[in-house]
Structure 1
Amino acid sequence: MENKMKFGQFIAKKRKEQQLTQKEFASSLFVTESAVSKWERGISYPDISLVSEICRVLQITEHELITASEDYHQRQLEKRGNYFLNIVKTYSAILYGAYIISLLTCLIVNFALEHKLDWFYIVLSAEMLAFSLLNLPLIVKERKGLFTVLGSFISINLLLFVCSWYTGGDWFAVTFVCLLTFYALVFLPLILRAEMKPIGLGKSKALICLIIDTILIYITVIVCMLFSGSMGIQNVLEIAIPLVSIGIILPWIYLLIIRYIRWNNFYKAAICLSISGVYFYMFNSFVHMIIDKKEFSMPAINLTVWNNTYINGNVGLITFMSTILLSIVFTIAGIMYSQKKEHNGFFFRKLI
């Protein structure tokens, strides 16, 4: 009976705070005034189907109704949420106002001075970029990151295209390829992680990402070399492509070792270090062979002399020896780890 009385007193208090009579409260719930009177006198509880409607009319939460007490924590959270929403609305309204005022001003000035629209399109595309970064994340309800990245990529390219058109340049293709490669290197891993997991390709995202990045790097180098005029198509094929291949091969080796070799991480680290040592030791020799069209030769080494003739070979040798020593350390650690794991597994099977 005490709980019913507490519940009734709470209902009456909240009804009066909303400045409702029992008759008005009953009418809004489509129940009789007698039923409301019984609730408030602690004689009976309302039907469970009325809970949501009672909360709406009295402007309380279901938790407050069930416990017949004020939920100050929840109200504080709602208050903060409403405050944040008001800030977002004010922020958006200010930005929209700034967009409209600046666009109208530039439109009038550009047309008045030039009797046509030209640099106005630069302002328009620049504001589209600002919109994609500042307003689009607030508008999109799902996949905010994906749509923000795509929106910024499209708007940046639009801005670059307009600038290229306005200045009479022919460099837009180069900037588009470079920007596409940059976005792929920075954002593609995040996009693949979010988008490919639901379709069962999450385990292959690193391989897919590296394939796409490799293709884009080749395209970027070819386009930049041909646009700059520093190399003809033959030199691009004979020099630029082989140099890019040498540079990209190490990430591919790391991926194949780390992702697809079924050994413990210590062994993988040892293999990667060993290969890295050999790679950096012989890197300059391969580069000179490609650029100078000479036969492959090992770098000259003389640790007592550090001039231009020997410095690359000396540094390469020290790097090679350091990585080999580290790989030996990781190999020993891998052996110890494997023995410990095998011992623990044997002990566990013995207990079973």
Structure 2
Amino acid sequence: MTHSAKQDFGDFVAEHRRGTGRTQRELASMLHVTESAVSKWERGLSYPDISLLPALARELDVGVQELVRASEDHEGRADRRDAESYREWRSAVLWTTLIAYAIAIVTCFIVNLSVAHALTWFWVVLPAVALAFSLTTLPLLRIPHPGWSSLGASTVSLLALLLVVWLGSGQGSWLLIAVSGVLLAIVLVFTPIWLSLPAVPAAVRQLNVLLTLVVGTVAILLFLLILLAALGRADRWATVAVPIAAIALIPVWIAALVIRYLPLNGLGIAAIVTAIGAVATLVLDPAITSILGEPAPLPADLSRWQSDTIDANVLFLVVAGLVVVSAALGVASVVQARITRAEARALRTPSGRV
């Protein structure tokens, strides 16, 4: 190393030795070297033996890499502080919640048994506490796949809670609807996550959007069937629920497939999706009204803002606004594509040639 590098190293050692409140003699004693050796290091006349670097770094309260480079590793120190803070936070939350849940369960057990001389509402508290534990404490435990374990445990706890409430409320058909709704939410939220996992074959991951749409659509249709069956109206599933669901889901299908598979820039995709939204907004309400057999709404009349025309007028303005936004995005997309092509041609053109 150059003399400047040696002096930088010596200054670094001297600064951090003084920062620890030690003299050269004290540092030398801890490292089992002479005071003269420490003095030479700090004056930039020599370097310590490489075997002394870990011990020297430890005594100076710095990292070995910092010592070798004779500079402050602020990012590394910040990362270590953050990691230590996270471990302390995790430990505090873990023990606090564990103790709180244990106290809640024991207290409710004793109070319920003392007052009612039987365990009644305690069975509602137990799965509720288990649900809270699954969402807050379980992910902090050192277990394999804590996220998926938390999802499974929280789902089981929620279903148990619904079952206990159902048994204590005179029963009824709402339990089937509630359980179906919970399972539907899990399918809709976690199907795209499952299909994106590295363990899934690459060919399947490439079709994750299409498969998510298929699974989600089937799940929604099944939920509607269960809902209508629980309400005693299963006969309306094929004639009402399925057509309305199809009308509502077709724009979602088209928009999702456009976003995922159409080879356009972001502005072009946004223009098409906005146009799809405009068409859906215009068609959805009249189509559903027709399926339900209700009278068709009056057309828009911007000259009249009465109770019978205000909805149609607002709908018209919304659709018009979406069309304008879509057109503007389309123009911006074309301009951006031309600029990109021009820049690409310029990069391919040799220097000095037009």
* TM-score calculated relative to the size of structure 1: 0.70
Of all paired residues, the percent bearing the same amino acid is 26
Aligned residues: 337
Equivalent in the alignment of 1:321: 320
Taking the aligned partners of 2:177 and 2:299, their CA distance within structure 1 comes to 41
Shift of 1:136: 0.9
Shift of 1:49: 9.2
Change (3 A) 1:148 1:50: farther
The equivalences for 1:47-66 within 5 A come to none
Rounded Cα–Cα distance in structure 2 between residues aligned with 1:75 and 1:237: 64
Deviates more, 1:308-317 or 1:220-229: 308-317
Q: Is the 8 A contact 2:228 2:236 kept in 1?
A: no
The counterpart of 2:215, out of the listed 204, 212, 215, is 212
Q: Could you tell me how far 1:139 is from its partner in structure 2?
A: 0.3
Name the SS for the 1:351 alignment partner. coil
Which deviations, in whole Å up to 9, do the C-alpha atoms of 1:275-320 show, x marking residues without a partner?
322221222221121000x7xx986435222335434443333333
Aligned CA-pair RMSD: 4.8
CA distance in structure 1 between the partners assigned to 2:80 and 2:342 by the alignment: 56
In the alignment, what sits opposite 1:265? 266
- State the SS of the aligned residue for 1:225: helix
Task: Give the secondary-structure state (helix, strand or coil) at the position aligned to 1:195.
Answer: coil
The Cα shift of 1:337 comes to 2.1
State the match for 1:278 in structure 2.
279
Contact 2:93–2:137 (8 Å) recurs in 1: no
Task: Report the residue type matching 1:279 in the other structure.
Answer: A
Task: For 1:193-212, list aligned pairs within 5 A.
Answer: 195-196=197-198, 199-200=201-202, 201-212=204-215
Q: How does 1:105-120 map to 2 (within 5 A)?
A: 105-112=107-114, 116-120=118-122
Correspondences of 1:326-341 after superposition (within 5 Å) = 326-341=325-340
Q: CA deviation at 1:345?
A: 2.5
Gaps of 5+ in 2: 1-5, 8-12, 21-29, 41-46
Q: Aligned AA for 1:179?
A: V
Q: Name the residue aligned to 2:137.
A: 135
Report what 1:178 is aligned to: 181
Does the Cα contact within 8 Å between 2:255 and 2:276 map onto a contact in 1? no
Find out whether 1:223 has 2:226 as its counterpart: yes
Gaps of 5+ in 1: 15-24, 26-32
Q: Distance in 2 between matches of 1:126 and 1:193?
A: 31
Query: How far is the alpha carbon of 1:260 from its aligned partner?
Result: 1.6
Q: Secondary structure at the match of 2:207?
A: helix
Q: Is the 8 A contact 2:209 2:257 kept in 1?
A: no
2-side partners of 1:218 and 1:211: how far apart? 11
CA distance in structure 1 between the partners assigned to 2:300 and 2:126 by the alignment: 62
CA–CA separation in structure 2 for the residues paired with 1:252 and 1:187: 18
Question: For 1:265 and 1:237, how far apart are their aligned partners in 2?
Answer: 38
2:149 aligned to which of 132, 147, 150 = 147
- Retained in 2: the 8 A contact 1:281–1:313? no
Structure 1 308/89 Cα, relative in aligned 2: closer, same or farther at 3 Å?
closer
